[in-house]
């Protein structure tokens, strides 16, 4: 065999080897994709099975939200979250309802955030708005009362102004209960409403794949939410303004500038919400936010409860957060007096201590705490004469005629 023939034979052998290597690489790549895809499908199925069969309340439910063109996020309509809660066609927690109030029915709209939506109770009928309806009917036999749960986790008063203008006005409630404070306090402490930069509050566009995953993958939503929670827990570098408040003592001294801005914004938002509701012909009551330490507490001596607060708000010392809540309570009371609406203090409700709240949660009621909230709220509304007795609602409706169109 000549040298040329030997080289050609060697080159052909090398070509066959390279082709076999490429085929093997393609096969291994395909097998890897199949295995990875199978693992993802199994993980997705496992997450869904866990959500449907978990022993505790699913406080983290990112797939219940979608990006909204006016509000940052909103609740998905017509959603049954594995039997834990239901969102009706109007985005409210609970059963389906008609936009028009039934004749003779007194309609109450509970507006707020996660402490109204109730992320730590075990069923729709156990939220405090649902228990309020139960206790009002129990205390007013023969009366027709309807309480709608319009809470959306994460919302501030500002968000609820937009929502009231966009959609909540359609329910024509006789009374709005605005429970606010927790998210607004957080915004004030963290300065999240601060305007800065050339494109403040910019929302970056999301790709089609991200949108598809958000709508269809429980696994993707859970992983993304968990990563966000980890970043949140690592935000424990306490702001200087919070430390300053912590050392100022319980006398509630003058606030640092960033906190004053948050409080001023809260005052404007609550005032605007009340004015908008009144322009729609609806009565409003402002409800003081509740928490595990007691609504009017300025210090928390229990180290176990301090740990609960630090778990929920790693960016501020517990006593600083408590004093902020007291300040925001004062703002609610002042706005109520200025606008001539009812302020409902909750310090006397007795919903204090971790046994009435979710596990390691300083703000969200468990079933027992929600029931007590509903019962105490019913007592206050009846004592203040805000809920008509049996038979009065029909007479009032016949006297006033059909409801007026919103202005």
pLDDT single digits (tens) 353-363:
999 999 999 99
Between 283 and 395, the higher pLDDT residue: 283
Residue 358 has which token pair? 């979710």
Over the stretch 209-233, which tens digit does the pLDDT of each residue have?
Answer: 888 888 888 888 888 888 887 776 6
Provide the terminal-to-terminal Cα distance of the chain, rounded to the nearest Å. 101
DSSP string, 103-162: TTEEEEEEEESHHHHTTTSSSGGGSHHHHHHHHHHHHSTT-EEEEEEEE-TT--HHHHHH
Between 245 and 267, the higher pLDDT residue: 267
Residue 257: which pLDDT band, with cuts at 50, 70 and 90?
very low
Q: Is the pLDDT of residue 36 over 80?
A: yes
pLDDT of residue 8: 56
Task: Assess contact for 262 and 193: CB atoms under 8 A.
Answer: yes
Share the mean pLDDT of the chain: 85
Region 97-123: what's the mean pLDDT?
A: 95
Highest mean pLDDT among 69-73, 207-211, 343-347, 386-390: 343-347
pLDDT of residue 245: 39
Q: Is the pLDDT of residue 193 over 60?
A: no
- Whose CA is closest to 45, among 227, 212, 228, 222? 222
DSSP assigned state of 32: H
Give the Cα separation of 315 and 124 in Å (integer): 32
Q: Is the pLDDT of residue 122 over 70?
A: yes
Strand order in the sheet with 175-179: 144-151, 105-112, 175-179, 283-287, 342-344
Architecture of domain 62-192+207-399: 3-Layer(aba) Sandwich (3.40)
- Which region among 115-129, 257-271, 347-361, 384-398 has the lowest average model confidence (pLDDT)? 384-398
Over the stretch 166-182, which tens digit does the pLDDT of each residue have?
Answer: 999 999 999 999 999 99
Q: Is the pLDDT of residue 119 over 60?
A: yes
pLDDT of residue 186: 85
Please list, residue by residue across 184-204, b when 16 or more beta carbons sit within 10 angstroms of its beta carbon and e when fewer do. bbbbbbbeebeeeeeeeeeee
Q: Domain boundaries in the chain?
A: 1-53, 62-192+207-399
- Kindly report the length of the chain: 407
3-class secondary structure, 74: strand
Sign of CA pseudo-dihedral 241, 243, 246, 248: negative
- Which region among 21-30, 97-106, 131-140 has the lowest average model confidence (pLDDT)? 21-30
Q: Which run of H or E residues covers position 328?
A: helix 318-339
Give the Cα separation of 9 and 71 in Å (integer): 71
pTM of the model: 0.83
Residue 60: which pLDDT band, with cuts at 50, 70 and 90?
confident
């Amino acid at each position: 065999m000549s040298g040329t023939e030997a080289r050609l034979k060697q080159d052909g052998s090398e070509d066959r080897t390279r082709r076999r290597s490429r085929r093997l690489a393609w096969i291994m790549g395909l097998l890897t994709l199949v295995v990875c895809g199978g693992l993802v499908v199994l993980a997705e199925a496992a997450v869904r099975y866990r959500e449907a069969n978990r022993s505790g309340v699913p406080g983290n439910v990112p797939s219940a939200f979608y990006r909204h063109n006016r509000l940052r996020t909103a609740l998905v309509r017509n959603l049954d979250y594995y039997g834990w809660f239901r969102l009706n066609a109007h985005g409210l927690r609970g059963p389906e309802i008609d936009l028009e109030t039934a004749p003779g029915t007194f309609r109450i709209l509970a507006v707020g955030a996660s402490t109204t939506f109730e992320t730590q109770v075990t069923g729709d009928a156990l939220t405090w708005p649902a228990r309020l309806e139960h206790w009002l009917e129990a205390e007013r036999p023969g009366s027709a009362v309807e309480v709608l749960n319009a809470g959306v986790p994460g919302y501030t008063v500002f968000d609820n102004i937009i929502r009231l203008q966009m959609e909540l006005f359609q329910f024509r409630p006789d009374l709005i209960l605005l429970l606010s404070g927790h998210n607004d306090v957080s915004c004030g402490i963290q300065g999240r409403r601060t305007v800065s930069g050339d494109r403040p509050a910019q929302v970056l566009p999301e790709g089609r794949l991200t949108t598809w995953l958000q709508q269809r993958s429980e696994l993707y939503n859970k992983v993304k939410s968990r990563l966000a929670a980890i970043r949140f827990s690592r935000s424990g570098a306490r702001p200087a303004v919070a430390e300053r408040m912590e050392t100022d003592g319980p006398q509630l001294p003058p606030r640092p500038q960033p906190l004053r801005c948050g409080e001023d914004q809260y005052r404007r938002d609550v005032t605007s919400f009340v004015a908008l509701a009144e322009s729609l012909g609806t009565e409003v009551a402002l409800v003081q936010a509740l928490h595990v330490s007691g609504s009017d507490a300025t210090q928390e001596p229990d180290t176990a409860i301090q740990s609960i607060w630090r778990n929920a708000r790693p960016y501020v010392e517990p006593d600083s957060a408590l004093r902020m809540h007291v300040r925001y309570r004062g703002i609610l009371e002042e706005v109520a007096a200025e606008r001539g609406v009812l302020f409902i203090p909750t310090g006397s409700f007795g919903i204090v201590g971790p046994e009435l709240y979710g596990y390691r949660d300083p703000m969200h009621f468990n079933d027992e705490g929600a029931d007590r909230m509903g019962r105490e709220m019913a007592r206050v509304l009846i004592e203040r004469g805000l809920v008509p007795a049996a038979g009065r609602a029909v007479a009032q409706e016949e006297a006033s005629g059909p409801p007026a169109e919103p202005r």
